[in-house]
């Protein structure tokens, strides 16, 4: 269910489990749909023996995509006006990720009711992997 | 650096469906596919339509990835183009199945920073505009990439 301006207030927080025990197969799925076939995300041998990483890690855009579900569940995909993130830590197979959105502002602009969100995604250790902001249209 | 080519991105319901599954978004059931707006990060999959995209295998060219040996491209830098630092999307309207987007990317600012975990960091920005079949701007994306002096320290 998407949110309505009349049902929310600044400071309200919405949390969502984005993934539990992230699987390498999901990294492969995301490579396939996005077209980002960087072997850093699919090829453990390449990562360990050629690139100097302990193994494959998630595409930043996969983490952003999963985090975006918090935004689209609140606004509906058709109502998202802005969505941006910074990638602050890598995400690894086996990670559990939780996304949180805090209502920062509810405002009128151009005849629309807009809501600004501050977004944070954390892993099972409490490390922040993504921070960001989003703006969407809501019903009054 | 100039890469102001136009990429044509036909938006298809099945591509959006598969994209949605890959990010664990099960909010749209398969009967609503033809009308459903694409998730906000879907524009990034324009890579599928870029005939020169460097992260996709090309016939007759060496490609990185393990096979007979770990890297596939011996003698070249193991870094495959750097890491993603930031990504932003701004929408004039949602992207829907049936849209045919014309996509142009322009280089933006570049800057450098020192980091303890990966040495010198070289940032570069890319601005991508997505216009629809009527020439109207639909989405503007701003990506920031970072090339690191060495792999990010996991300590």
B110-142: pLDDT as tens digits? 999 998 887 899 999 999 999 999 999 999 999
My answer on whether A33 and A79 are in the same domain is no
My answer on whether A50 and A35 are in the same domain is yes
My answer on whether A85 and A133 are in the same domain is yes
Cα of B25 to nearest chain A Cα, Å: 6
Given a cut of 70, whether residue B78 has pLDDT beyond it is no
Cα of B65 to nearest chain A Cα, Å: 6
B4-15: pLDDT as tens digits? 799 999 999 999
Check A60 against B53: CB less than 8 A apart: no
My answer on whether A52 and A70 are in the same domain is no
Check B18 against A82: CB less than 8 A apart: no
Given a cut of 80, whether residue A1 has pLDDT beyond it is no
Judging contacts by C-beta atoms under 8 Å, the chain B residues touching residue A35 are 45-48, 50, 53, 55-56
My answer on whether A51 and A80 are in the same domain is no
A28-57: pLDDT as tens digits? 999 999 999 999 999 999 999 988 899 999
Residue window 23-52, chain A: list those with CB within 8 Å of chain B.
26, 29-30, 32-40, 42-43, 45-46, 48-52
My answer on whether A11 and A37 are in the same domain is no
Residue A121: give its domain's CATH number.
3.10.129.10
User: Measured at the alpha carbon of residue B139, what is the angle toward residues B133 and B143, in degrees to the nearest 5?
Assistant: 135
My answer on whether A65 and A124 are in the same domain is yes
Domain that holds residue A121: 5-22+58-138
**End-to-end CA, chain B:** 35
CA B114 to chain CA mean position, Å:
25
Cα of A48 to nearest chain B Cα, Å: 8
Q: What is the pLDDT of residue B77?
A: 56
My answer on whether A50 and A117 are in the same domain is no
Rounded mean pLDDT, A22-26 = 98
- State how far the alpha carbon of B140 is from the alpha carbons of A69, A115, B93, B97, B105, in Å: 20, 20, 11, 18, 10
Across the beta sheet with A97-109, the strand order is: A13-19, A97-109, A112-122, A128-138, A80-87, B83-91, B137-148, B119-131, B100-115, B6-10
Q: Total domain count for chain A?
A: 2
- Domains of chain B, with CATH numbers? 6-148 (3.10.129.10)
Check A77 against B154: CB less than 8 A apart: no
Q: What is the pLDDT of residue B64?
A: 86
B70 → chain A, closest CA residue: A46
- Characterize the bridge pairing of strands A80-87 and A128-138: antiparallel
% chain B with pLDDT above 90? 60
My answer on whether A73 and A52 are in the same domain is no
Q: Report whether B118 contacts B149 (CB < 8 A).
A: yes
My answer on whether A18 and A47 are in the same domain is no
Given a cut of 50, whether residue B1 has pLDDT beyond it is no
A112 interfacial to chain B (CB closer than 8 Å): no
My answer on whether A103 and A40 are in the same domain is no
% chain A with pLDDT above 70? 100
- The more confidently predicted of residues B85 and B75 is B85
> ipTM score of the complex?
0.96
My answer on whether A74 and A48 are in the same domain is no
Q: What is the pLDDT of residue B17?
A: 93
Neighbours of B49 (CB within 10 A): 14
């Amino acid at each position: 269910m998407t949110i309505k301006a009349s049902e929310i207030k600044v400071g309200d927080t919405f949390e969502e489990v984005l993934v539990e025990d992230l699987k390498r197969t999901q990294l492969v799925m995301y490579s396939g749909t996005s077209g980002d076939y960087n072997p850093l995300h699919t090829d453990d041998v390449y990562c360990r023996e050629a690139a100097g990483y302990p193994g494959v890690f998630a595409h930043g855009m996969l983490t952003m995509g999963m985090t975006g579900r918090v935004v689209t569940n609140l606004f509906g995909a058709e109502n998202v006006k802005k969505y941006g993130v910074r990638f602050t830590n890598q995400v690894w197979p086996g990670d559990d990720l939780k996304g949180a959105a805090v209502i920062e502002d509810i405002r009128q602009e151009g005849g629309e009711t807009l809501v600004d969100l501050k977004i944070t995604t954390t892993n099972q250790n409490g490390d922040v992997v993504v921070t960001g902001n989003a703006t969407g249209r809501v019903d009054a | 650096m100039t890469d102001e080519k136009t990429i044509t991105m036909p938006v298809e319901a099945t591509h959006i469906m598969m994209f949605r599954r890959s990010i664990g978004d099960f909010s749209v059931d398969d009967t609503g596919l033809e009308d459903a707006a694409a998730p906000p990060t879907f524009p990034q999959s324009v890579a599928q339509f870029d005939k020169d995209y460097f992260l996709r295998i090309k016939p007759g060219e060496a490609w990185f990835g393990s096979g007979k040996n770990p890297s596939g491209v011996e003698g070249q830098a193991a870094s495959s183009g750097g890491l993603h630092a930031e990504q932003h999307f701004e929408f004039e309207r949602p992207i829907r199945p049936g849209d045919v987007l014309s996509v142009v990317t322009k280089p933006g600012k570049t800057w450098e920073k020192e980091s303890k975990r990966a040495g010198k960091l070289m940032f570069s920005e890319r601005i991508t505009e997505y216009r629809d079949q009527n020439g109207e701007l639909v989405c503007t994306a701003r990506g920031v990439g970072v090339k690191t002096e060495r792999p990010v320290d996991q300590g």
